[in-house]
């Protein structure tokens, strides 16, 4: 079970680690793809297996795969939005702490 953490209680290194973790979690939600040869298509079907298909069969396969992935993305979208919101909150808290440290340093320098 995930624990709730009050990000205002974290120090800057902890906030940076949390920000990096959120970046990694968000980045791993996207998978790029490229087609290099339109005449000879190898399709990954899972478990290390590839199948050669005609361009028409490949198109049908990817249309079905796109429909499936679209439905999965709709399920993941709320989690992605939450992670972006958490990342934004972490970044805002980091900014506030940096401003506090800068102000404290300026105050101490003026008193010396």
At residue 51, the pLDDT reads 92
pTM: 0.46
In a domain, 96, yes or no: yes
Nearest alpha carbon to residue 4 among 71, 94, 86, 101? 86
Site of tokens 């939450």: 82
In a domain, 86, yes or no: yes
pLDDT tops 90 at residue 68: yes
Indicate the pLDDT class of residue 28, thresholds 50, 70 and 90: confident
Lookup: tokens for 56: 């028409």
The dihedral through the CA atoms of 97, 101, 106, 111 has a sign that is positive
Count of the separate structural domains present in the chain: 1
In a domain, 93, yes or no: yes
Distance of CA 53 to the CA centre of its chain: 32
Indicate the pLDDT class of residue 94, thresholds 50, 70 and 90: very high
In a domain, 87, yes or no: yes
In a domain, 20, yes or no: no
- How, if at all, do strands 49-53 and 41-46 pair? antiparallel
Show the domain range for 92: 81-107
């Amino acid at each position: 079970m995930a624990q709730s953490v009050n990000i205002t209680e974290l120090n800057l290194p902890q906030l940076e680690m949390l920000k990096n973790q959120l970046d990694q979690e968000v980045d791993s939600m996207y998978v790029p793809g490229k087609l290099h040869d339109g005449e000879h298509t190898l399709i990954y079907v899972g478990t290390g297996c590839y199948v050669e298909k005609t361009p028409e069969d490949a198109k049908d396969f990817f249309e079905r795969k796109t429909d499936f992935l679209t439905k999965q993305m709709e399920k993941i979208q709320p989690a992605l939005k939450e992670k972006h919101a958490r990342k934004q909150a972490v970044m805002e808290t980091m900014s506030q702490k940096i401003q506090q440290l800068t102000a404290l340093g300026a105050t101490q320098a003026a008193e010396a």
